[in-house]
Amino acid sequence: MVGRRVSPAAPTINDAQSYLAAVKETFHDEPSKYAEFLKLLNGIRNQKVDKDVMVARVEELMEDHDDLLHGFNVFLPDEAKRIKNPHTNKIHADAEEFMNKLKTRFKTLDTEVVGSFRQIMEMFKEGKLSVKQAQEEVIDVLYYHEDLIEDFLTIFEKKKDRVALALLQL
């Protein structure tokens, strides 16, 4: 289930079994998380747990496992499909804040810096620059702007590919 396409209209029993196996494997070293996940599923089946509570708790349990969050979303009824990937939202917010700061700083100072930064991110996204090369290029472009360099390195370390994509969309 995780890592393969599932028909969004009707997940099968095999999809559910595959998903549970992926959850169990992911949490093999954290059996209490897997047990809590199963308890939530049983609670919803027995109508002892509210859907919103269950979804919120699953989001917490799987916060660092985007693939599991997206896989879980497949099994939710449309009105409960609120799992949007909280990491992506945070990454996007951080990227937006950084780009606003960058654009504001270089609006009149050096208008080519923003364009150069975008080119570096595009080259990284296309695989033409390694992580280290992209970081070095950005540091060169932002020379003397230590706060921007620090902000960039902080958000870029999180999820490099997603940050690059988010920065290019702004």
Backbone CA torsion sign across 68, 22, 5, 50: negative
Residue-wise burial string across 127-158, b where 16 or more C-beta atoms lie within 10 A, e elsewhere = eebeeeebbebbeebbeebeebbebbeebbee
Of 26-35, 124-133, 135-144, minimum mean pLDDT range: 124-133
Band of residue 141 on the pLDDT scale cut at 50, 70, 90:
very high
Band of residue 7 on the pLDDT scale cut at 50, 70, 90:
very low
Of 14-18, 109-113, 156-160, 164-168, minimum mean pLDDT range: 164-168
In the predicted structure, residue 166 carries a pLDDT above the cut 70: no
Residues of CATH 1.20.1160.11 domain(s) within the chain? 13-80
Instruction: Tell which residue, 86, 90, 52, has the closest CA to residue 68.
Output: 86
Band of residue 116 on the pLDDT scale cut at 50, 70, 90:
very high
Distance CA 117, CA 142 (A): 9
Distance CA 102, CA 105 (A): 5
Domain 86-169's class? Answer: mainly alpha
The residue assigned the tokens 């950084």 is 98
Of 25-39, 40-54, 123-137, minimum mean pLDDT range: 40-54
What mean pLDDT is predicted for residues 105-131? Answer: 85
Domain 13-80 adopts which CATH fold?
Answer: Paired amphipathic helix 2 (pah2 repeat) (1.20.1160)
Task: Give the pLDDT confidence of 74-92 residue by residue, as tens digits.
Answer: 777 766 665 555 555 677 7
What mean pLDDT is predicted for residues 84-110? Answer: 76
In the predicted structure, residue 146 carries a pLDDT above the cut 80: yes
Q: Which residues contact 117 (CB under 8 A, 6 or more apart)?
A: 102, 138, 141, 142, 167
Going from the C-alpha of 98 to that of each of 15, 40, 72, 101, 152, the distances in angstroms are 40, 38, 31, 5, 7
For the chain, report the end-to-end CA distance as a whole number of angstroms: 33
